[in-house]
Amino acid sequence: MKKYLLFLLISCAGLSSCKKEVLIPGSSNRTILADIAANSWVLSNDGLYYSTVINVPENNANFNQAGHILVSMSFENPDIYEGLPQVYAGDSYTFTSKPGSVTIYINDAYNKVRPVPPNGITTAKITLIDAELID
């Protein structure tokens, strides 16, 4: 019995000292700040949403497939960014990406009235996170 107990204690001590580390050599994540003027928001043909397109040439076809994009917006306070999707002042802000650009959309959160785009300059913070595609 003492042999088994001793073996169990040694096994637990040996296993508890193992740890897994993931090392990422030289991260190349990038952040782009883009000011959006009030007149940049375009109303859709059906009048249900506004959108604006931000050119992001770093988002090429390979990155768009394998990387990850985060978008945050600064509305009233330039020191505070809120991650998208987000509901702000009753309007829903979302985004999509395609090679070469990111499009930000504003919809009424309840789909009852036309959304109201910001009446001043807002800032979008676009963060590109590199990743390796695993097939």
Backbone angles phi, psi at 80, to 5 degrees: -120, 125
What's the pLDDT at 1?
A: 58
pTM here? 0.79
Q: From the CB of residue 53, how many other CB atoms can be counted at a distance below 10 Å?
A: 13
Residue 58 has pLDDT above 60, yes or no: yes
Gyration radius (Cα) of the chain, Å? 23
- pLDDT tens per residue across span 62-121: 999 999 999 999 988 889 999 999 999 999 999 999 999 999 999 998 888 999 999 999
- Judge whether residue 22 has pLDDT over 70: no
Band of the pLDDT at 20, cuts 50, 70, 90?
low
Q: Which domains does the chain have, with CATH numbers?
A: 29-129 (2.60.40)
Residues of the chain above pLDDT 70, percent: 80
Cβ count within 10 A of residue 46: 6
Give the C-alpha separation, 92 to 45, whole Å.
Answer: 18
Is the preceding peptide bond at 115 cis, omega within 30 degrees of 0? no
Hunting for tokens 């499009």 — which residue is that?
Answer: 103
CA distance 91 to 35: 19
